[in-house]
């Protein structure tokens, strides 16, 4: 089915929201469910179960969609689907469950890491960052292991796979309304690849500027400049639409 055909299907449902027309929309966009299931498939979960969870997200997207917001339905549906899958995987199938004390330490760890680099122009050792936070080095090792497991991968620089860029904004726990997240995603698409990776890495994945710099092959100070530039662009885009 072509994009214009699928647009017509969602338009018919919005004009007359019957169960039959809702099911037509689900059939038209079912490929998103399969795609989401592939993305979240792990050794410990079942693809069929993931597709069912994704289908529930798609149904919710259809029923909640508001055409007057002029948000592309596919972008909206993808966020809802990914959000459902993230909730399912994290709450019911997550193997690693970090202690609450470890979770509480994550943000101070990020701040301490960035502050150390700014002061000494190098990354701290495990012992050094542990001393700053007043914890044992073993706790820092455990925290780093947890962060590697928990954080969803950022989009690779220069990647052409567009829809995955929204994944890190799909989690409902961020406290931002879904429509606002969609608007932010559309604004992010106007950034360069590196600027977008810096923004997502900082605010969605909770990475330090040093970690982002290592990924991009640039210095921490350059990441800081990229972030400032990107935030300026986003601010203008969101303010003026």
Higher pLDDT, 141 or 70: 141
Please tell me the distance from the alpha carbon of residue 4 to that of residue 21, in angstroms, as a whole number.
16
Decide whether 97-150 matches 151-241 in CATH topology.
yes
Domain map (residue ranges) of the chain: 3-92, 97-150, 151-241
The CATH-assigned architecture of domain 3-92 is: Orthogonal Bundle (1.10)
Topology at the third CATH level for domain 151-241 = Arc Repressor Mutant, subunit A (1.10.10)
Alpha helices in 154-219 (DSSP H): 178-188, 193-203, 209-216
Quote the pLDDT of residue 98: 59
User: Mean pLDDT across the stretch 168-186?
Assistant: 57
User: Mean pLDDT across the stretch 102-121?
Assistant: 82
Tens digits of per-residue pLDDT, 27-46?
999 999 998 888 888 766 78
* Most confident by average pLDDT, 10-24, 73-87, 105-119, 221-235: 10-24
Q: CA 107, 108, 112: angle at the middle one, nearest 5?
A: 120
Quote the pLDDT of residue 144: 75
Quote the pLDDT of residue 19: 94
The CATH number for 97-150, chosen from 1.10.238, 1.20.950, 1.10.3470, 1.10.10, is 1.10.10
Quick check: helix, strand or coil at residue 188? helix
Which residue, chain included where needed, has tokens 């959000």? 83
Higher pLDDT, 110 or 69: 110
DSSP per-residue letters across 92-157 = HS-S----HHHHHHHHHHHHHHHHHHHHHSSPPPHHHHHHHHTS-HHHHHHHHHHHHHHSPPPPPT
- pLDDT tops 80 at residue 26: yes
């Amino acid at each position: 089915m072509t994009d214009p055909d699928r647009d017509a299907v969602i338009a018919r449902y919005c004009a007359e929201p019957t169960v039959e027309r809702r099911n037509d929309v689900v059939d038209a966009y079912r490929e998103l469910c399969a795609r989401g299931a592939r993305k979240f498939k792990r050794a410990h979960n079942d693809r069929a179960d993931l597709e069912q969870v994704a289908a529930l997200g798609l149904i919710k997207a259809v029923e909640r969609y508001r055409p007057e917001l002029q948000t592309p339905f596919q972008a909206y549906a993808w966020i809802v689907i990914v959000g459902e899958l993230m909730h399912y995987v994290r709450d019911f199938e997550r193997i690693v469950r970090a202690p609450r004390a470890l979770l509480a330490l994550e943000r101070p760890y990020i701040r301490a890491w960035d502050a150390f680099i700014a002061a000494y122009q190098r990354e701290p050792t495990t012992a050094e960052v542990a001393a700053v936070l007043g914890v044992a080095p073993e706790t820092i090792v455990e925290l780093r292991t947890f962060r590697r497991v928990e954080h969803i991968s950022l989009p690779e620089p220069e990647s052409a796979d567009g829809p995955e860029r929204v994944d890190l904004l799909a989690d409902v726990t961020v406290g931002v309304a879904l429509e606002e997240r969609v608007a932010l995603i559309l604004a992010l698409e106007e950034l360069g690849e590196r600027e977008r990776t810096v923004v997502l890495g900082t605010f969605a994945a909770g990475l330090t500027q040093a970690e982002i710099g290592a990924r991009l092959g640039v210095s921490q100070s350059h990441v800081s400049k990229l972030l400032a530039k990107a935030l300026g662009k986003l601010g203008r885009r969101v303010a003026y639409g």
